Amino acid sequence: MGGYCGKLLQVDLTAGVVENIPLREDLVENYLGGSGIGARLLYELLEGKISAMDPLEAGNPLIFMTGPFSGTTLPSTARMTVNALSPLTGIWGEANVGGQLSAQLKFAGWDGVVFLGSSAKPVYLHIDGEKARLLPAGELWGQDTYAVTDLLQRRHGGDNRKPAVAVIGPAGENGVLYASIAHNKGHHFGRTGMGTVMGSKKLKGLVVSGTGKVDIGNPEGYKEVRQRLLNKMKESLAVELFNLYGTNCGIDAGHLSGDVPIKNWQLGEWGEGINALNGPAFEAILADRATCYACPVACKRVVEIKEGPWQMPAGPGPEYETITSFGTMCMIPDAAAVAKINERCNQLGLDTISCGCTVAFAIDCFEKGLIKEEQTGGLELRWNKPELVLKLVEMIAAREGFGAVLALGSHRLAEKLGGETKKYAAVVKKLEVPMHDPRAYHGLGLAYATSIRGACHVSGVTMGVEQGNMLLEDLGLDGCHSGPSSTGKARLVALTQDFGMTFTTAALVCLLGGMVYNERDFVDCLSNVTGREWTLERVMRCGRRIWLLKRAINLLRGAGPTDDCLPEVIRTPLTEGGAAGSVPDMELMLKEFSALRGFDRDGYPSREEMTALGLADVYAALEKCRRGQ
């Protein structure tokens, strides 16, 4: 079966049983892979129990999925996804990662791993080709992700092979609601607390080695489209930029357009801070560049700090999202300090976006006098205090003192603090907003508001298209969109969500290198890898099916149209910078979006469309839920 191994590992952690189950044909045909298949599996596993399931109960399945391109040498396709109900948001949870894991899992002969139940004692899963077994992890519990990764790679690696490792750190073990899963130290399944779910199951990690190959449906066609993409990459300025400065390459241009959030979203311009945190600023500590499996972009940074207060050995450097979450959001104009904070978050297993944003929100509240030292355990929270932020990171992971409250994320922190604090919590559906400002790009605001997992800039391709970095001309998206305008953006968002659901979340193409793909490239990749007939129309239908299924899961979890909104702090105009005075017209865009999606007054999709997309059973469950049954 081109692009697939045709089987999944199902691991019952309660019983300690590991089984081989076939990957059903209907899943491949209708949901393609990644979180498309993940969503359908989760829905079926929880059928009838979705609404009431506590995400930290044993019954919440944890699903790791690859896509059809994983393990091939198509450029920028090394992503992998993990899905479950999220303990942070209470709705559909999804995080993804680059690195080597997805390729190794395919080489081992598996399309994914489904964890059910919960273990009584800490365990980890060792996959060595066809063999998979649960092993005790008692001595690993409590250790940080770097130490455990080194230990497991030594234990299960050989002279010429280094297994892919994905583990949680103390944050996941201790129930921090935004714990990540660290893969080979520097790659993180960051968002929506998937590491927390893993910790609740007493699952410390996965170790994966494989030596197989991925079948290609049409090798000749595959070779042609792969070469076409590689040629485009060689010509691409975006690829050159990502290689040069990593994901942080756009911070200067982003600052000019008003895209970079500063001071908990309330400052539009901070030239000296940007100069201290931009690509050239990080060159002083750059030790090397690294890449994901078979990716020519090589956007990953290796940094080393030999002198000063933030010394660290050579290791994974911070991404743009981390640099801004801690740098510009907490007003820390110091590349080395941010690199050190990133290292500790990596080791402790924390999502740097949620963590940095929650800390920035708390500092903002303190600076405004909305909270006092009595509530922070005597800590004086101020801007530009990297030592304090580092201390808070440790306290969060250990859930100690005020750290235990910060460990709940911005939404719950605002609930606990009360008063006016809620106005300054930048969350959508309880997930902290990532580091691109919708006041500079209004379509992104609608994408955040209607995104399935809460504010998200990667599940659709809205951002790349709206910023003009990705062209989807067959869909009428020619890259000439005005950022601070709401006109016509509902259509752009609906199209890019549908395309993106197939492209980035099911096929798991990376957003960065993925910028060089157009619709034809993607369709050609799908057809030639799988050996099945794909068209753009089928891509869009598949994306719409996945989007509606995930939306239905959220509706069943109680998150409806009233949750499709932007937080007040982001709906407040800035007085300076590239996006000064600009605010997305959410009312207009949501109205148009709802019409395009065919929602009824309550924000539910139509029976006709759900049925036509093969989701009649899901529609029936929604109707039942609406009737309160």
Partner 1 sequence: MTYAYGTAEWEKAYLEMVEKRLATVARPYILGSPEWVATYEKMIQESQEYKEAAKGWEGTVVIHIMANPALGLPEDSYLLLDLWHGECRSVRLVPREVGVKADYILSGELERWEAVTSGALNVTKAMMQGKIKLKGSLAKIVRYVKASTLLTEIATHIETRHLSQLSDEEREQYRKELNELKAEFGF
Binding site for partner 1 (CB under 8 A): 235-238, 240-241, 244-245, 249, 252-253, 256, 278-280, 467-469, 471, 479-480, 515
Smallest separation, CB 502 to partner 1 (Å): 22
Q: Which of residues 178 and 499 has its CB atom nearest to partner 1 in the complex?
A: 499
From the CB of 253, what's the least distance to partner 1, in Å?
Answer: 5
End-to-end alpha-carbon separation of the chain, Å? 41
Residue 280 vs 558, nearer CB to partner 1: 280
Nearer to partner 1, 120 or 237 (CB): 237
In contact, 570 and 445? CB cutoff 8 Å: yes
In the complex, what is the shortest distance from the CB of residue 535 to partner 1, in angstroms, rounded to a whole number?
A: 25
Tell me how far apart the alpha carbons of residues 374 and 198 are, in angstroms, rounded to a whole number.
34
Residue 471 Cβ vs partner 1, minimum distance, rounded to whole Å: 6
DSSP states of 310-377: T-EEEEEPPPHHHIIIIIITTT---HHHHHHHHHHHHHHTB-HHHHHHHHHHHHHHHHTTSS-HHHHT
Quick count: other Cβ atoms within 10 Å of Cβ 147? 14
Residue of 270, 250, 237 whose CA lies nearest to 441: 250
Complex with partner 1: residue 499 or 534, whichever CB lies closer: 499
Q: 3-class SS at 296?
A: coil
Q: Encoding tokens for residue 45?
A: 């596993």
Contact between 238 and 515 under an 8 Å Cβ cutoff? The reply is yes
What are the helix and strand counts (H, E) for the chain?
Answer: 26, 17
Q: Is 127 exposed, middle or buried (0-12, 13-18, 19+ CB in 10 A)?
A: buried
Provide, rounded to whole angstroms, the least separation between the CB of residue 246 and partner 1: 12
- Cβ count near 390 (within 10 Å): 19
CA 404, CA 87: separation in Å to the nearest integer? 15
Q: Is the dihedral of CA 493, 498, 499, 501 positive or negative?
A: positive
In the complex, least distance from residue 230 CB atom to partner 1, rounded to whole angstroms? 15
The half-sphere exposure of 617 on its side-chain side, counting CA atoms within 13 A, is 6
- Alpha carbons 84 and 148: distance in angstroms, whole number: 24
CA angle (102 as vertex; 101, 105 as ends), nearest 5: 85
Distance CA 367, CA 382 (A): 6
Residue whose CB is less far from partner 1, 447 or 515: 515
CA distance 572 to 265: 9
DSSP structure class, residue 606: P
Shortest separation between residue 467's beta carbon and partner 1, angstroms: 7
Kindly give the residue spans of alpha helices, DSSP state H, lying in 431-518.
442-450, 462-466, 489-500
For the chain, give the longest Cα–Cα distance: 68
Contact 247, 321 (CB under 8 A): yes
* Cα separation values, 602 from 494, 548, 560, Å: 18, 15, 8
CB of 394 to partner 1, least distance (A): 35
Cβ neighbours around 350 below 10 Å, total: 32
Cβ 280 to partner 1, closest distance in Å? 6
Does residue 13 sit in helix, strand or coil? coil
Query: Which of residues 2 and 246 has its CB atom nearest to partner 1 in the complex?
Result: 246
| Closer of 23 and 238 to partner 1 (Cβ) | 238
| Nearer CB in complex with partner 1: 35/467 | 467
Closest distance of CB 486 from partner 1, Å: 18
DSSP H helical ranges for 157-236: 170-173, 194-200, 219-235
Taking the least distance from each CB to partner 1, the nearer of 23 and 477 is 477
CB of 435 to partner 1, least distance (A): 18
Report the nearest approach of partner 1 to the CB of residue 316 (Å): 22
Please give the structure tokens belonging to residue 194: 């998937």
If we measure between CA atoms, which residue out of 500, 512, 501, 507 comes closest to residue 527? 507
Cβ proximity to partner 1: between 289 and 607 the closer is: 289
Closest CB to partner 1 among 88 and 285? 285
What minimum distance in Å lies between the beta carbon of 232 and partner 1? 8
Both structure tokens of 272? 């000296």
Residue 548 is encoded by which pair of tokens?
Answer: 């509606």
Looking at beta carbons only, is 134 or 253 nearer to partner 1? 253
| Complex with partner 1: residue 147 or 256, whichever CB lies closer | 256
Of the pair 386, 483, the CB lying nearest partner 1 is at 483
Q: DSSP strand E in 107-162: where?
A: 112-116, 123-128, 131-136
Q: How far is the CB of 259 from partner 1 (least distance, A)?
A: 12
Residue 148 to residue 135: CA distance in whole angstroms: 14
